[in-house]
Amino acid sequence: MEITNLNIVMLMFQPSVVAKGLEKKLQEQGNTVSAVVGNVNQIDQYMDSADLFILNLPGKITDDTVELKALKLLCKKMDTSGKKMIMVGEKEVYQDLIGIFKAAGNFEWVFRPVQMQELEIAIDKAFTGKPKPEGARKRILIVDDDPDYAKMVREWISEKYKVDIVTAGMKAIAFLLKVPEDEGVDLILLDYEMPIADGPQVLQMLRQEPATAHIPVVFLTGVGTREGVARVMELKPDGYILKSTTRDDLLQFLSGKLD
139-258 folds as Rossmann fold (3.40.50)
Q: Are 109 and 122 in contact (CB under 8 A)?
A: yes
pTM of the model: 0.55
Residue 243: the pLDDT is 92
Range(s) within the chain of domains with CATH label 3.40.50.2300? 7-128, 139-258
Q: Report the distance separating Cα 216 and Cα 241, nearest Å.
A: 13
User: At residue 1, does pLDDT exceed 50?
Assistant: no
Q: Report the distance separating Cα 73 and Cα 58, nearest Å.
A: 16
User: At residue 107, does pLDDT exceed 70?
Assistant: yes
Q: Are 207 and 104 in contact (CB under 8 A)?
A: no
Superfamily of domain 7-128: Response regulator (3.40.50.2300)
Q: Which residue has the higher pLDDT, 190 or 207?
A: 190
In terms of Cβ atoms closer than 10 Å to its own Cβ (0-12, 13-18, 19+), residue 34 is: middle
User: At residue 209, does pLDDT exceed 90?
Assistant: no
Which has the minimum average pLDDT: 11-20, 72-81, 82-91, 173-182?
Answer: 173-182
Residue 129: the pLDDT is 63
- Name the average pLDDT for the chain: 86
